Amino acid sequence: MKTIVALVGRPNVGKSTLFNRLYGKKQAIVIDEPGATRDRNYASCTWHGKAFTLIDTGGFEPAPAEKILLQMKEQTLVAIEEADLIIFLMDVQHGLTPADEEIAQMLRSTGKQVFYVVNKVDGPRHENMAYEFHRLGLPQIHTISAQHGVGVSDLMDEVFLFLTEDEEQDETGNEAIKIAVIGKPNVGKSSLINKILGYERTIVNNIPGTTRDAIDTHFTFQGKPYVLMDTAGIRRKSRISLVLEKFSVVQAMKALDRCDVALHLIDAQDGITEQDAKIAGLALEKGVAVILLVNKWDLVEKDNNTVGEYVKSIKEQLKFLDFAPIIFVSAETGQRIHRIFKVIDEVRSESTKRITTGELNRAMSAFIKNNPPPQGLLKEAPLHYVTQVAVKPPTFIFFVSNPANIHFSYERYLVNRLREAFSLRHTPIRIFFRKKQRDRKKS
């Protein structure tokens, strides 16, 4: 298995900056505001060819007064428990604080290999200030500037000596299905993930926007590998008042860029809102297969017609997403949670399906025969042939005599027939029309 390396320290000491430098991408939120990273954030990294898993944590306050700080402390303790190696960051500009001393004492008691690091050391003056940290009585203290990269290589060369060889592999040979959990704020995304995983993986709090970073969790269900991505709640632009929340929106969109399936949570009590429609439209634009999860279904008063009426309402308000499966769940009680995975597998299978050109063109002939295009377009056999050019979502190009003459209604007809003919009921489908070039005679 990969060595797990956890970044630990008080709020705003530069953990996320170091995380991003080692990962090579801006995955963790970096902003000059304490508490920007609240949950654990994971990334696969390498140093000199050895792979390891890096964990970024929220700020550790030894004696937190606020509930959210207490939860951040609990999350950090979980990361420390998971980790094989620990990088403890301190801030030279704030000096050695009582909290630093308490954290250092706690880390000593773990019996794990800890690297004590003083960050934000940008020059000789800061180097002199770093001598204060030797009061901890440690054999070695590393000085770095995570922002500018100074000293980071020397630190990681020391860490490298403790990295084990990566022998992790998926014994089934299957690629993990990447699942993004999306939805408006406070709809139950973190609660859903915690219920699926069976333990407190992310912070659950009734403050909208608690989950700010996109958090990846690898796990297996019935022998199949999955990756869950918890995303910050996407907000209306007019409702985003804090700079930090703008970063959260970016994180959610990045998760959609790299996921295979999106679980879009809808509040059963609120019904479909304008914001829900915008989020669903964003997922569709990116070609992501969407499963609509109507959450908090246990709180709705029901009769024999409730489900049917709710499904009808969703399909009317989200007409562009009428192919998406709908599951009524309760993240609180676990109602129908396990059913989600069967649907995820089906949707993923459809979104990655490839169809041969021969099969497509035989089907296209039948489509045209059953419903020919308008008579005025038949003169030059407007549909010549079709081929699939991509998956996730399945994408097809129809070569025609004149693309401008293809009406939207006929395009919709072709999409519906493709769904029926090739069992693509629950995935987005993209089709394009290209003008067929005349064959040029060889000279």
pLDDT category, 15, cuts 50, 70, 90?
very high
Check residue 214 and give its pLDDT: 62
Side-chain-side CA neighbours of 152 within 13 Å: the count stands at 18
Residue 149: pLDDT over 60: yes
pTM above 0.85, yes or no: no
Residue 168: pLDDT over 80: no
Check residue 55 and give its pLDDT: 86
Average pLDDT rounded to a whole number, residues 38-52: 80
- Distance of alpha carbon 356 from alpha carbon 64, whole angstroms: 60
Residue 257: pLDDT over 60: yes
pLDDT digits (tens, 9 = 90+) for 320-354: 999 999 999 999 999 999 899 999 999 999 999 99
Q: Which two tokens stand for residue 89?
A: 């960051």
Average pLDDT rounded to a whole number, residues 173-182: 82
Q: Which two tokens stand for residue 384?
A: 């010549």
Q: Of 195-204, 236-245, 351-360, where does the model show the most confidence?
A: 351-360
Geometric angle at alpha carbon 404, from 398 and 410, rounded to 5°: 60
Check residue 407 and give its pLDDT: 83
Q: How many CB atoms lie within 10 A of CB 36?
A: 22
Average pLDDT rounded to a whole number, residues 281-291: 91
Cross-sheet strand order for the sheet of 50-56: 41-47, 50-56, 3-9, 85-91, 113-119, 142-143
Average pLDDT rounded to a whole number, residues 214-243: 71
Percent of the chain residues topping a pLDDT of 90: 45
Paired residues of 292 in beta bridges: 264, 326
pLDDT category, 308, cuts 50, 70, 90?
very high
- Distance of alpha carbon 273 from alpha carbon 279, whole angstroms: 10
Residue 378: pLDDT over 60: no
- Distance of alpha carbon 130 from alpha carbon 121, whole angstroms: 8
Check residue 198 and give its pLDDT: 81
pLDDT category, 167, cuts 50, 70, 90?
very low
Check residue 246 and give its pLDDT: 45
Check residue 204 and give its pLDDT: 65
- Distance of alpha carbon 347 from alpha carbon 242, whole angstroms: 36
Q: How many residues can be counted in the chain?
A: 443
Check residue 435 and give its pLDDT: 85
Paired residues of 225 in beta bridges: 220
Contact 86, 3 (CB under 8 A): no
pLDDT category, 210, cuts 50, 70, 90?
low
Residue 174: pLDDT over 70: no
Residue 104: pLDDT over 50: yes
Going along the chain from its start, the domains and CATH numbers come out as 3-160 (3.40.50.300), 177-350 (3.40.50.300), 357-435 (3.30.300.20)
Q: Is 296 exposed, middle or buried (0-12, 13-18, 19+ CB in 10 A)?
A: buried
Which residue, chain included where needed, has tokens 């995935």?
427
Check residue 243 and give its pLDDT: 47
Better-predicted residue by pLDDT, 109 or 230: 109
pLDDT category, 363, cuts 50, 70, 90?
very high
DSSP conformation class of 238: G
- The average confidence (pLDDT) of the chain is 83
Question: What backbone torsions phi and psi does residue 12 show, to the nearest 5 degrees?
Answer: 65, 35
- Distance of alpha carbon 132 from alpha carbon 380, whole angstroms: 84
Average pLDDT rounded to a whole number, residues 93-117: 93
Percent of the chain residues topping a pLDDT of 70: 81
Average pLDDT rounded to a whole number, residues 256-275: 90
SS3 assignment, position 16: helix
pLDDT category, 172, cuts 50, 70, 90?
very low
Check residue 260 and give its pLDDT: 93
SS3 assignment, position 54: strand
Check residue 164 and give its pLDDT: 83
Average pLDDT rounded to a whole number, residues 248-252: 58
